[in-house]
Each structure stands twice: as structure tokens, then as C-alpha cells.
Amino acid sequence: MAVAEDSLRVHTSASVVVGGSNRFVRWMRGLGWRHLVAWAALIFALSSVPDLNSGLGGWDLVLRKLAHATEYGILGALLAIPIAGSLLAVAREVVNYRRETAAEAS
């Protein structure tokens, strides 16, 4: 009994860390993927343009490299949103499963 109670206590405190509503988790997973796909499509569309030379000479190379780093940085941030939402959903399921098994054991 003591083990089950300790396990339940640890995991109920973990549920506070997991937190959030199911609606928030669904938003993070669903909306995040749509933004990610849209951003990847934009990158693909801009990559298909053969010459995006701005005519700024030496600054053109620097600006293009900065734009490239920024667009992929944004892509990485957009990828982190649905991954975090999925991890929250998995953590929530683990917490619920632990609660159920601890309640059945007692």
C-alpha cells in the first residue's frame, strides 16, 4: 500500500507540471502542424525561384544567409510547438494511467 500511495503522490504532483487543458494540448498539436506545413511550403516555394538577387552587391550574400538562417530558425520553432503538445499529451496519459493503476491497487 505504501508504494502505491507514494507512486500516486509523485504522479499527481507531476500532473501539475504537465498541467493545461486538453483543449490547449489539442491546439498545440493541431494548429502547430498546420503552421509548420505552411511555413515549409513557403520555404519550398521561395527555394524554387532561380535568382532572388537584390542587387545590393556584397550585402546581398550576407542578407541572404541571414534570411536563410532566420527562416530555418522559425521552422525549428514551429516544429517544437507540435512536438511539445504531443509530449504533453503522452505525459498526461502516463499520469492518468498511473492514477488508475494506483486506485485499482488500493
Domain spans, the chain: 2-105
If you search the block for the grid coordinates 498539436, which residue do you land on? 29
Distance between CA 70 and CA 94 in Å, rounded? 36
Instruction: List, for residues 1-10, the tens digit of each pLDDT value.
Output: 444 444 444 4
Start-to-end CA span in the chain (Å): 7
Distance between CA 81 and CA 54 in Å, rounded? 33
Q: What pTM, to 2 d.p., does this model score?
A: 0.56
Predicted confidence at residue 44, as pLDDT, reads: 92
Contact present, 25 and 88 (Cβ < 8 Å): yes
Instruction: List, for residues 82-93, the tens digit of each pLDDT value.
Output: 788 778 878 888
Instruction: List, for residues 24-63, the tens digit of each pLDDT value.
Output: 666 665 666 788 889 999 999 988 887 777 777 888 888 8
